[in-house]
């Protein structure tokens, strides 16, 4: 038998199928949703095809985040997080904000989500791929509005996102306490 086993093959044999899945995730993300310059595009089909991580509701109409917040990610990202406690390279987190509708239902006074208004997107980058103000702290950061979902309207991570995400720094800049799907 050949004594020389290539390093990548050896790594695959030792860590099992998950590492193949994780590599596919990064390949898909950086092939499909991120261009050569680090421009991020909003995945269109997350709500119908990706696992739902959890929801937040900000009821105060004057609050900056007023609305229903639903967070989605790829199935491989959920699997990777459950196994290792960190999001794998290529994870995409999408937070969709929708308006709050309300009325009386047979369940009681109910609130539900209306039309999408804004999407916040984070893309995990373990390799420091881009020298860009939208890529920092191991993530790409982007923001899209319903009136033109093809345009990232975030100025930069530092100006648009950092201050608000600081409380989540110790959990990889993600508010993981709101995501029951990540728990084993």
Is position 124 an interface residue for ligand HEC (rule: CB under 6 A)?
A: no
Of 25, 42, 93, 182, the one binding ligand HEC (CB under 6 A) is 93
- Provide, rounded to whole angstroms, the least separation between the CB of residue 95 and ligand HEC: 4
**Residue 166 region, left (φ>0) first, then alpha (ψ -120 to 50), else beta?**
alpha
Of 33, 50, 69, 96, the one binding ligand HEC (CB under 6 A) is 69
Of 33, 68, 72, 120, the one binding ligand HEC (CB under 6 A) is 120
Mention every residue, 6+ apart, whose C-beta is less than 8 A from residue 54.
70, 71, 178, 179, 180, 181
Q: Name which of 78 and 174 has its Cβ closer to ligand HEC.
A: 174
Of 22, 34, 42, 71, the one binding ligand HEC (CB under 6 A) is 71
Of 25, 26, 34, 143, the one binding ligand HEC (CB under 6 A) is 143
Q: At what angle do helices 75-84 and 17-32 cross, to 10 degrees?
A: 130
Q: Name which of 12 and 113 has its Cβ closer to ligand HEC.
A: 113
Is position 158 an interface residue for ligand HEC (rule: CB under 6 A)?
A: no
Is position 166 an interface residue for ligand HEC (rule: CB under 6 A)?
A: no
Q: Binding residues for ligand HEC, per CB under 6 A?
A: 56, 58, 64-65, 69, 71, 93, 95, 120-122, 141-143, 154, 160-161, 164-165, 168, 174-175, 178
């Amino acid at each position: 038998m050949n004594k020389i086993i290539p390093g990548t093959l050896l790594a695959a044999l030792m860590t099992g199928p998950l590492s193949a899945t994780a590599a596919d995730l990064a390949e898909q993300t950086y092939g499909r949703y991120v261009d050569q310059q680090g421009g991020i595009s909003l995945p269109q089909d997350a709500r119908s095809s990706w696992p739902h991580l959890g929801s937040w509701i900000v009821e105060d109409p004057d609050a900056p985040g007023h609305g229903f917040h639903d967070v989605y990610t790829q199935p491989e990202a959920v699997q990777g997080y459950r196994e290792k406690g960190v999001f794998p390279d290529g994870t995409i987190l999408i937070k969709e904000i929708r308006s709050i509708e309300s009325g009386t239902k047979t369940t009681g006074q109910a609130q539900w989500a209306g039309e999408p208004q804004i999407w916040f997107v984070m893309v995990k980058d373990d390799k420091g791929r881009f020298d860009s103000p939208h890529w920092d702290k191991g993530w790409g950061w982007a923001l899209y509005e319903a009136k033109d979902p093809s345009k990232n309207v975030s100025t930069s991570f530092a100006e648009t996102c950092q201050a608000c995400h600081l409380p989540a720094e110790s959990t990889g800049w993600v508010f993981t306490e709101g995501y029951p799907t990540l728990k084993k």
